[in-house]
Amino acid sequence: MSETLLNYPPALVAKPRIPFRPHPPADFEEAGLFHAQVESLVLKFLLSHGIASGRRTADELGLPFGPFPEFLRRLKNQQIVSYTDSASANDFLYSLTDVGRARAQLYFNECSYVGTAPVPFDDYVKSVAAQSITFEHPKKEDLRRAFADLLISEEMFEVLGPAINSGRGLFLYGYPGNGKTSIAERITRCFGSTIWIPKVIEASGQLIKLFDLSAHEPVEAHRSSLLRADDFDHRWIEIRRPTLIAGGELRMEDLEIHFDPVTKVSEAPLQLKSNNGTLLIDDFGRQRIAPIELLNRWTVPLEKRYDFLSLYNGKQIRVPFDQLILFSTNLEPRQLVDESFMRRIPYKIFAQDPDEATFRELFAMFAAKLGFLEVDEAALDHLINRHYRKADRPFRACQPRDLLLQVRNYCVYNDLPLEMKPHYFDFAANNYFTVM
Instruction: Encode pLDDT of 113-159 as tens digits.
Output: 999 999 999 999 999 999 998 888 888 888 888 888 888 888 888 88
Strands (E), 125-209: 169-173, 194-198, 200-203, 206-209
Count other Cβ atoms within 10 Å, centred on residue 267: 17
pLDDT in tens, 363-397: 999 999 999 989 999 999 999 999 999 999 999 99
Query: What average pLDDT does range 60-79 have in this prediction?
Result: 95
Can you give the pLDDT at residue 321? 94
Q: Which residue in 120, 111, 123 sits closest to 33, CA to CA?
A: 120
169/96 Cα distance (integer angstroms): 53
Please enumerate in sequence order all residues whose Cβ is within 8 A of that of 329, keeping only pairs 6 or more positions apart, or say none: 171, 172, 173, 180, 283, 284, 285, 336
Phi and psi torsions of 341, nearest 5°: -80, -35
pLDDT band at 230 (very low <50, low <70, confident <90, very high): low
- As a whole number, the mean pLDDT across the chain is 88
Report whether 216 contacts 251 (CB < 8 A). no
Domains and CATH numbers, the chain: 35-117 (1.10.10.10), 132-193+241-350 (3.40.50.300), 356-432 (no CATH)
What is the C-alpha separation between 69 and 104, in angstroms, rounded?
19
Distance CA 348, CA 182 (A): 16
Tell me the mean pLDDT in the region 401-429. Answer: 95
Compute φ and ψ for 188, nearest 5 degrees: -60, -30
Residue 147 CB coordination number (10 Å) = 20
Confidence of residue 233 (pLDDT cuts 50, 70, 90): very high
**Residues paired with 92 in a beta bridge:** 86
Q: In angstroms, how far is the first alpha carbon of the chain from the final one? A: 64
Burial of 279 (0-12, 13-18, 19+ CB in 10 A): buried
Distance of CA 266 to the CA centre of its chain: 18
Phi-psi region of 105 (alpha: psi -120 to 50; beta: other; left: phi over 0): alpha
